Chain A
Amino acid sequence: MLRNLVRKIKRFSQSERNKAPGETRGTYKHTPLSHVLEVNEARIRQAFGDSFDLVCRRVAIGKHGSIAALVVHLNEMVNPQFVSTAIIERIVDKTEHLTDPNTVYTQIRDSYLDLTDVAETHDLHKVAYEIANGNTCILVQGVAKAIVCQTQGYSQREVSQPTTESTIRGSKEGLVESLAVNLSLIRRRIRNPNLRVEQFTIGEVSQTPVALVYIEGIANPGIVAEARQRLSRIKVDSIQESGQLEEFIEDAPLSPFPTLLRTERPDRVTGNLLEGRFAIITDGSPFALIAPATFSMFLTAPEDYFERFFAGSVIRLLRYLAFLLSLTLPSLYVAITTFHQELLPTPLILSIAAQRNQIPFPAVVEAILMEIVFELLREAGIRLPVILGQAVSIIGALVIGEAALRAGLVSAAMVVVVALTGISSFVTPIFSLAISVRLLRFPLMILASALGLFGILAGLASMLTHLLTLRSFGVPYLEPIAPFVAGEQRDVVFRAPWWAMNRRPRFVEEQTDKRVAPGQIPRPPEPEQTKDPGR
């Protein structure tokens, strides 16, 4: 297994070794800056096509204002107060005793600016891209260089509760659209220099910053290198959402199953980082991608780890059951009512028979119809504004449920089945898996109507064969189950107590350090210690 992974990684790294990550390619040409400030200003203005939000502020600095300088930024991408107090005010005040432009420039660069992140460039295009990125550039008359100051200050959403993955216990913070904020959310949870963040800029036009996050010393370097490769391979005009990125780097692009885990929760990101996985965070998207992803991760909720382990395990078991139900329940209904009527207890089968008596459709048509109606309702509920969403649920419940039932179009049993399926599919914590299951239900229903349970079995078997061939960044998708890893069963179907979860997944190369020091099972103190001397 591991050999395969290594082989795979080698193959990738040989084919695309020489391109350094992060360098944007293609349209980018090196154009040196001019010594003449006016020329530079004109060129920058030209680069932005005289956009009205481009601010080119001429400042007179140096002794008696003898030196002209230019402060350029985009109006709404920077924090204006920051620019005025930390840049303009400082460079005007501090340079009053200087006359030489070069000295002025170096002094500004090295000591005058009240900023943490200052860089320098010779390249006009770089200047333009930095400005586009929300930074401020300072140019000085007679110096063919520019100082790049980090002054990004655009409006962004507050850190709020994650909307797609809510929990009762656990952090209430969710990732937001800003890469910087997201990184701070992660850094705050792992305050360790070994947490590595590698930046990539993806999207020839959009220049979207993307960060690859992992923990050095825990993550398998081969897997990280593979991720680096795949990210730097992407050539696309823009990346608006991590979902686009996912399609470029996943292992099995045609599979109905997601091979990257997508999450909105920073605690989920850090939890997986600590297990040796890496995360990819895209600016502009509140969803981080986590890989290597295994199937069991998709049925895991953060709460499993925060609640006491009995509760966590039982609820996780329930989730597996719900997953199976949402996948197979409608097809089981079809199979049982058309092939295996002997399976149900007599009173139940008689009751279903009584309901089905007036239904004009065969069971499979009834099931597919109802499932489609349910999917429609669900989609409408997501698209509509929240207030209208209630209207949809009323229509769904009353019109479809009650009226169709009374009109004899569907049987009550079918309505129950559809409702159960729907509820079960909401239980799956990760939406991308729930979507796959929604799709796979339909072929299963058709198979069930052709060959009954045997058909369902054939469908599930071919699905499982597919799952068994799947890999996520070289790691088998069903890893702890097949191939069976006895030591990892403590976090698959059951969640072992934290003091027993002492190992990381197998794909982590170095298993030298244990996660948990041994012998930490809480015990009541020894009797002599409890003796109360006062008693």
Chain B
Amino acid sequence: MKQLEKGRISSFQYMCMLLVVRITATTVTFPFMTDHESPTDAWIGAAIGIVVSLVLLELIVRFSLNFPNMTVIQYSQSVLGKFLGSIAALLLIGFWVFDAAVAGRAMGSAMVNAFMPETPVLVFIIVTAFLSANGARQGLEITARWSELVAVGVVMSALLLALPFQAMNFQNLLPILPYGIGPHLKRAAIIVAIFLRYSVVGMIVPYVHNRKEILRYTRIAVLISGAVLIAQSIVLVAVFGARATSSAVPTLQLVRQITIGEFFERIEIFPVTLWLLNNGVNMGLFIWASSLGLAQLFGLNRFEPLTYPIGGLVTLLSMLLFKNYVEQIHYLIRVQPIFVPVLVLGVYALLYAGFSIRKLVLPKQGNLEAPMILEAGPDEIE
């Protein structure tokens, strides 16, 4: 097997990458708050979503660990055969490109809506995609180090949540469950859909130094980002009350509340800077994953030349995906919670099915690597 990516990352860096991927979606659009009834207890929906995501990701990571030296693209072909495997791989790669495009567009629109209305959204997307592709080209290690730096931002954004403290009113969090559990399930679906961006771990796992820690760090990453998510939904409601659902970019509105001593206002640009970086690293990771995946799928010698074309593709897609902001929001709230789980879980279910069948039919086959930790199974979750 050709070694296309020579970098090795630590499990801590792995966790930071997952955090960055998740926080991007949380901060920029925060779609699960939007347009649902019962905003006051939104954190319940978040909590449900996190529990479900924890279970699903545990399954995905455990399954990936059956092939500790192969990326999901490589083992999809050894599990499902050439044809089906390639289709599964292409679906995943397509999803990553698509998701990078969505993230890029979301950030671009946030910038345009909130800061520089006269500037075309394309400018922001091109610059970000270019820088991300550049980062992706330097390999996984660079992206990992970027993530480490930016993950500091996660801590900082958690601290930022405390700044609009005088505007908070925790009475706003009441009542709990006035409309039953229904709206929360919808929210949870969105959260699960966003967490399924973690399907990209299938590309990272083989490059992590200490594989024994992967499961632990995945859980920690989900729990930390979950904690940030819940904290954010609580703070949003505490500050905005019922209006939390009516904002297009609620988190942005939240940081716009920050005033320091009635003197410095409108300092939202600083947390937004952090999110831009988050978003750039996130896009870089997805561009890296799709370039490497494509190179592995077609047996290329190097993946680096693919990063710029894929960056271009991401730019193009993000421009073409949504005609306007309404469509974008519609995608995030209505389409995403169905489309993403179907795609990602479908692919992984297919892979798992193939894997089980192979194991049953050909128990001692050589081209499957020996399972390293536990074999994935729905009944084996702790």
**A contact set with B: CB distance below 8 Å:** 1, 3-4, 339-340, 342-343, 345, 451-454, 457-458, 461-462, 464-465, 468-469, 476, 478, 481-484
Contacts and interface: CB of A to CB of B under 8 A. Distances in A.
Nearest to B134: A465
A518 B365 CA distance: 54
A339 B144 CA distance: 32
Contact of B12 (A1, A342, A465, A484): A484
Contacts of A482: 145-146, 148-149
Given A339-B116, A345-B263, A469-B138, A453 B127 contact: no
Contacts of B8: 1, 3
A76 to B, nearest CB: 55
A478 B142 CA distance: 11
Contacts of B267: 343
Given A454-B276, A482-B149, A345 B265 contact: yes
A468 B146 contact: yes
A341 to B, nearest CB: 9
B179 interface: no
Q: Which A-B residue pairs are the 9 nearest by beta carbons?
A: A482-B145, A342-B266, A482-B148, A484-B148, A468-B145, A345-B263, A482-B149, A468-B142, A458-B127
29 contacts: A3-B8, A342-B265, A343-B264, A343-B267, A451-B116, A451-B119, A451-B127, A452-B115, A452-B116, A453-B269, A454-B111, A454-B116, A454-B276, A457-B276, A458-B127, A461-B277, A462-B131, A465-B131, A465-B134, A465-B142, A465-B146, A468-B142, A469-B138, A478-B145, A481-B148, A483-B145, A483-B148, A484-B13, A484-B148
B337 interface: no
A3 B8 CA distance: 9
Nearest to B145: A482
A306 to B, nearest CB: 30
A457 B266 contact: no
Contacts of A339: 116
Contacts of B128: 458
Contacts of A451: 116, 119, 123, 127
B10 interface: yes
Interface of B: 6, 8, 10, 12-13, 16, 111, 115-116, 119, 123-124, 127-128, 131, 134-135, 138, 141-142, 144-146, 148-149, 263-267, 269, 273, 276-277, 280
A469 B142 contact: yes
Nearest to A340: B269
A64 to B, nearest CB: 78
B23 to A, nearest CB: 17
A453 B10 contact: no
A454 B134 CA distance: 17
Contacts of B280: 461
Nearest to A465: B135
A4 B140 CA distance: 13
Contacts of B138: 465, 468-469
A326 to B, nearest CB: 19
Contacts of B145: 468, 476, 478, 482-483
A345 B146 contact: no
Nearest to B264: A345
A483 B10 contact: yes
B72 to A, nearest CB: 24
B267 to A, nearest CB: 6
A472 B124 CA distance: 33
A464 B142 CA distance: 10
A345 B134 CA distance: 37
A481 B12 CA distance: 13
Contacts of A1: 8, 141
Contacts of B149: 464, 481-482
Nearest to A344: B264
B146 to A, nearest CB: 6
A468 B146 CA distance: 8
Contact of A457 (B144, B265, B273): B273
A451 B124 CA distance: 9
A464 B13 CA distance: 17
B135 to A, nearest CB: 5
A458 B131 CA distance: 8
A289 B127 CA distance: 38
A461 B134 CA distance: 11
B148 A343 contact: no
A345 B261 CA distance: 11
A483 B147 CA distance: 10
Given A454-B124, A458-B127, 19 more contacts: A1-B141, A340-B269, A343-B269, A452-B115, A454-B116, A454-B276, A457-B273, A458-B131, A461-B280, A462-B134, A465-B135, A465-B142, A476-B145, A481-B149, A482-B145, A482-B148, A483-B144, A484-B12, A484-B16
A354 to B, nearest CB: 19
Contacts of A343: 264, 266-267, 269
Q: Identify which of A462, A469, A476, A484 gathers the most chain B CB atoms within 10 Å of its CB.
A: A484
Contacts of B141: 1
A453 B127 CA distance: 13
B282 to A, nearest CB: 13
A321 to B, nearest CB: 15
Contact of A453 (B263, B266, B273, B277): B273
A483 B127 CA distance: 25
Nearest to B10: A483
Contacts of B131: 458, 461-462, 465
Contacts of B10: 483
Contacts of B13: 483-484
A127 B10 CA distance: 57
A266 B12 CA distance: 38
A453 B142 CA distance: 24
Q: Identify which of B141, B266, B267, B269 gathers the most chain A CB atoms within 10 Å of its CB.
A: B269
A484 B151 CA distance: 11
A462 to B, nearest CB: 6
A83 B43 CA distance: 90
A464 B263 CA distance: 32
A483 B111 CA distance: 30
A464 B266 contact: no
Nearest to B13: A483
B285 to A, nearest CB: 13
B68 to A, nearest CB: 17
Nearest to A469: B138
B146 A464 contact: yes
Nearest to B281: A461
A457 B146 contact: no
Nearest to B149: A482
Contacts of A4: 6
A339 B118 CA distance: 11
B74 to A, nearest CB: 21
Q: Identify which of A1, A345, A458, A482 gathers the most chain B CB atoms within 10 Å of its CB.
A: A482
B214 to A, nearest CB: 17
Nearest to A458: B127
A464 B138 CA distance: 12
Nearest to B123: A451
A89 B42 CA distance: 100
Contacts of A453: 269, 273
B277 A457 contact: yes
Contacts of A483: 10, 13, 144-145, 148
Nearest to A483: B145
Q: Identify which of B115, B119, B127, B263 gathers the most chain A CB atoms within 10 Å of its CB.
A: B127
A452 B116 CA distance: 9
A323 to B, nearest CB: 16
Nearest to A455: B127
A419 B264 CA distance: 23
A7 to B, nearest CB: 9
A478 B269 CA distance: 26
A463 to B, nearest CB: 11
A423 B331 CA distance: 51
A464 B280 CA distance: 12
Contacts of A484: 12-13, 16, 148
Nearest to B150: A482
